[in-house]
A and B are shown apart, each in its own frame.
Chain A
Amino acid sequence: MVRKIIITGILLFVIFNAMLYLLPIKKRFVYTDVEKSERFLYAGRKFSVITAGSSLIGNFTFETEKRKNYFNLSLPPSGGCTGVKILALTNNIPDTLYLETNYISRGFNNVLIDGLLDKRSYYAKLIFPALQEQNKFFPLIIDKFKSGNTAQASKRKPKDDLFLQLFASTKEEYSKPVNLVKYNKTLLELKKHLEYLSAKGTFIAFFEVPIEHDLVNSPKLVSQRQALKLAFADKKYNWIQPDTTNRYYTGDGKHLLEESFVRFTKYFKTQCNLLKKQGKK
């Protein structure tokens, strides 16, 4: 009995791996930091345009995605720094990197990075793709049978009491300036990785995702912006100017609702084109 159980388990595992190799089975949408970074790491090819950031740009898609050379490395809880470090440590050098600055202060998720780059685990997941988080069995099956784009931003504002609760907690989060000692340390390490990418020829542009109007000049964002501008004053770093003409709406104070998100995406692309026209890229 024991032998039969083990053989059955292993046989099914081998069959599933073979299916992942042979058939184009892939989840349409990946959400978690591990899934996203694995998808990037095991894609087996180079991406020329990359956006790195937090959940604020989770739904972001670029026109160039159709040409399959764009990757949205938004890592919801970890934020942009972690994405940049993954790029630098894995020597995945894009032509262009757009870095969202809202949650740079979260620093680096080294647990995620160490787990991802651990050699034994990396090769095991490379040989047996079934071990990758993005190929988890049930979510993969569900993804195949569930239609519709589930990766869209919320269409409408949540119920008032929920919105007020969420907004209150966001307000509290943004009411205090960042811890500058910790933040500057993060920026120093970020600079090291960005310098590396820049030296290899990557065009780097920072951008801030608009949030609820009342919070745009909150102590957290103001202190964060000032330190960031100071640390990356060099001309090789480019900045996409924030949109001051439009008003944006969120579901919780920071995550844009669908309509606002679409408006921001348009604005963002126009600004990217402007940078190109200015001859910067």
Chain B
Amino acid sequence: MLFNSLVFLVLVLITFIVYYIPGLKKYQVGILIVSSFVFYAYYKPILLLLFITSILLNTSSSYIVLKEDSLSKQKKVAAFAIALNLLILAFFKYTPLISHTFYKELELNGSWREFFFTIPLPIGISFYTFEGISLLIDVLRDKNSLKEKHNSFWEHLIKTSFFISFFPHLIAGPILKAHDFYPQIKEKYFSDINWEKVIKHLILGYFLKMVVADNLNEITVNITYPFFLGYSSLNLLLLLFGYSMQIFADFAGYSSIAIGLGFLFGYNLPRNFHFPYISQSFAEFWTRWHISLSTWLKEYLYFPLGGNRKGQWRTYFNLFTVMLLGGFWHGAGWSYALWGFGHGSFLAIERLIKDRVKVNNTLLVQILQTAMVFLVVTFLWLLFKLPNFDQVVQFFKALIDNRSMRFNISSKELNLVMLSSFVVLYHACYLLFKNNKVSPATNYNIQWVSYGVLLFLILVNSGNQNAFIYFQF
């Protein structure tokens, strides 16, 4: 179900009403679980089978770890369950890629080949698998925090089902961590809703998604083969810039809606984006972009690999490995791996330079660094837009060959600039107001006018309904 569909609004409305009925307080978690299952299975009920299997696997294994006294047994159970989680993810996500690449070597023929080539990707599997793994590791690391509160298997099942399935974050994050979310599970009251936070997050989220991303999508669709061959170099750069804005607006928009919905039901979901395009380094970029994934990778992969505690070269290697795997997490395609490889390499090289060269942090240096990070990040997004690597090469070829073509400024280009300017403005405002103290009254006035205008633009300038880009991951 899409956040920007009428059926979703109806589901939220019904859930909201039932959720806050005073007599049903005891069943609040159950109500949200049912809604989440409806949300997830609305178009393909069969998907629930795998989803429930994953929930049961993680609930039962984490419960065993909770109740088991022997540490070695706890570790064995957790390791087994994590391996099983990864195996399920690998089967559904990576089998088609592997079989496409190695079908000759694997001697796949006939119906087997067809079967492996067409395994469907269950929506949200990357997200809920990571949350299941997070639960297992958290329980293993600090089981006392959960032990007292989860007396029976039933109680643990209910809370775990809720943790994994809570619909705002289910399909495209933010990826929750068990130790952040479980303590929040308790009775919620209508009077505690912070309406200002709810409305602001929802308006910003829907604006970024429906006004910016969905409209930009109708323009950046021209970055498809062979159409991009007909554009001048400058037009291609502009389209790529638009795609960079689109992917931010799409994903940050989704996350903002998710956080707003979380507040509506009394839950605080973690922030997922923090003005990423002002980053002055790749390391900073990953503290601002898809924060819940990068912190997940840091906590559950980078630190266990040794982080930066095992020497410089090991640190570079760890950064590179984590990003490469992060790339693979995004999509089952070699271009996603290349995207991860690119980010991993830049992170490692940046670290290498920082360890050896000291640069004066002047304003000019800051601007140059920000521009460079933005440019590299934007060019790497091309691997998301054109998952066929040959086409990426063709794009770069066109970028060089079409220099002599005339820069065409049609309504389409103007619309792209207009829509992208909102993302630029969003980042610029942050920079502007970050250090300059604005009086509370001015701040208050700016805010209500701005959000009012955004609401107006949602009503009069929404694009065609499109699925969120991150749904495919």
Residues on B with C-beta less than 8 A from A131 are 459-460
Q: Mark A1-39, 1 if CB is under 8 A from B, else 0.
A: 110111111111100100000000000000000000000
Q: Mark A234-271, 1 if CB is under 8 A from B, else 0.
A: 00000000000000000000000000000000000000
Asked whether any CB of chain A lies closer than 8 Å to the CB of B139, the reply is no
Report, nearest first, the 3 A-B pairs whose CB atoms are least far apart: A8-B452, A9-B455, A165-B226
- A10 CA / B63 CA spacing, docked (Å): 51
Asked whether any CB of chain B lies closer than 8 Å to the CB of A143, the reply is yes
Residues on A with C-beta less than 8 A from B452 are 4-9, 11-12
Asked whether any CB of chain A lies closer than 8 Å to the CB of B118, the reply is no
Where the two chains meet, the residues of A that have a C-beta atom closer than 8 Å to any C-beta of B are 1-2, 4-13, 16, 130-131, 135-139, 142-143, 146, 150, 158-159, 161-162, 165-166, 169
Q: Mark B184-220, 1 if CB is under 8 A from A, else 0.
A: 0000000000011001100100000000000100000
Partner of B199, one of A2, A166, A169: A2
- A135 CA / B453 CA spacing, docked (Å): 17
Q: Smallest CB-CB separation from B458: which chain A residue?
A: A9
CB distance from A16 to the nearest CB of B (A): 6
Residues on A with C-beta less than 8 A from B13 are none
New contact pairs (15) apart from A146-B410, A161-B226, A166-B226, CB-CB < 8 Å:
A4-B452, A5-B448, A5-B455, A8-B451, A9-B459, A11-B452, A12-B456, A13-B456, A13-B459, A13-B460, A16-B456, A137-B457, A138-B415, A139-B415, A162-B227
- A12 CA / B459 CA spacing, docked (Å): 10
- A8 CA / B447 CA spacing, docked (Å): 11
Given contacts A12-B453, A138-B418, contact A1 B196 (CB under 8 A): yes
Asked whether any CB of chain A lies closer than 8 Å to the CB of B461, the reply is yes
Q: Is the CB of A8 within 8 A of B453?
A: yes
Residues on A with C-beta less than 8 A from B226 are 161-162, 165-166, 169
Question: B residues 199-257 with Cβ under 8 Å of A?
Answer: 199-200, 203, 215, 225-227, 229-230
- A1 CA / B446 CA spacing, docked (Å): 11
- A12 CA / B225 CA spacing, docked (Å): 40
Given contacts A2-B195, A142-B415, A146-B414, contact A9 B229 (CB under 8 A): no
- A10 CA / B458 CA spacing, docked (Å): 11
Q: Is the CB of A6 within 8 A of B455?
A: yes
- A161 CA / B398 CA spacing, docked (Å): 10
Where the two chains meet, the residues of B that have a C-beta atom closer than 8 Å to any C-beta of A are 195-196, 199-200, 203, 215, 225-227, 229-230, 402, 410-411, 414-415, 418-419, 444, 447-449, 451-461
Q: Is the CB of A138 within 8 A of B229?
A: no
Partner of B461, one of A4, A5, A136, A169: A136
CB distance from B188 to the nearest CB of A (A): 19
Q: Is the CB of A161 within 8 A of B229?
A: yes
Q: Is the CB of A159 within 8 A of B230?
A: yes
Residues on B with C-beta less than 8 A from A4 are 448, 452
CB distance from B140 to the nearest CB of A (A): 43
Q: Is the CB of B418 within 8 A of A162?
A: no
- A1 CA / B459 CA spacing, docked (Å): 19
* Interface contact tally, CB-CB below 8 A: 88
CB distance from B452 to the nearest CB of A (A): 2
Residues on B with C-beta less than 8 A from A146 are 410-411, 414
- A184 CA / B453 CA spacing, docked (Å): 51
CB distance from B204 to the nearest CB of A (A): 11
Partner of A130, one of B453, B455, B459: B459
Residues on A with C-beta less than 8 A from B414 are 142, 146
- A1 CA / B414 CA spacing, docked (Å): 33
- A8 CA / B459 CA spacing, docked (Å): 12
- A11 CA / B449 CA spacing, docked (Å): 11
CB distance from A224 to the nearest CB of B (A): 26
Residues on A with C-beta less than 8 A from B199 are 2, 5-6
Q: Is the CB of A142 within 8 A of B456?
A: no
CB distance from B420 to the nearest CB of A (A): 12
Residues on A with C-beta less than 8 A from B195 are 2
Residues on A with C-beta less than 8 A from B227 are 162
Q: Smallest CB-CB separation from A17: which chain B residue?
A: B460
Residues on A with C-beta less than 8 A from B200 are 5
Q: Is the CB of B410 within 8 A of A8?
A: no
CB distance from A21 to the nearest CB of B (A): 14
Residues on A with C-beta less than 8 A from B448 are 1, 4-5, 8
Residues on B with C-beta less than 8 A from A169 are 226
CB distance from A180 to the nearest CB of B (A): 27
Residues on A with C-beta less than 8 A from B447 are 1
- A18 CA / B87 CA spacing, docked (Å): 59
Interface centre among B418, B419, B454, B461 (most CB of A within 10 A): B461
Q: Is the CB of A130 within 8 A of B411?
A: no
Residues on B with C-beta less than 8 A from A2 are 195-196, 199
Q: Can you give 30 contacting A-B residue pairs, CB < 8 Å?
A: A1-B447, A1-B448, A6-B452, A7-B452, A8-B448, A8-B452, A9-B452, A9-B453, A9-B455, A9-B458, A9-B459, A11-B452, A12-B452, A13-B460, A16-B456, A131-B460, A137-B457, A137-B460, A142-B411, A142-B414, A142-B418, A146-B410, A146-B411, A146-B414, A159-B230, A159-B402, A161-B229, A162-B226, A162-B229, A165-B229
Q: Smallest CB-CB separation from B445: which chain A residue?
A: A4
Residues on A with C-beta less than 8 A from B230 are 158-159, 162
Residues on A with C-beta less than 8 A from B418 are 138, 142
CB distance from A174 to the nearest CB of B (A): 17
Q: Is the CB of B455 within 8 A of A8?
A: yes
- A205 CA / B225 CA spacing, docked (Å): 37
Q: Is the CB of B411 within 8 A of A150?
A: yes
Q: Smallest CB-CB separation from A164: which chain B residue?
A: B226
Residues on A with C-beta less than 8 A from B460 are 13, 16, 130-131, 135-137
CB distance from B74 to the nearest CB of A (A): 48
- A139 CA / B215 CA spacing, docked (Å): 10
- A162 CA / B454 CA spacing, docked (Å): 40
CB distance from B186 to the nearest CB of A (A): 25
- A5 CA / B449 CA spacing, docked (Å): 7
Residues on B with C-beta less than 8 A from A139 are 411, 415
Residues on B with C-beta less than 8 A from A165 are 225-226, 229
Q: Is the CB of A159 within 8 A of B451?
A: no
CB distance from A168 to the nearest CB of B (A): 9
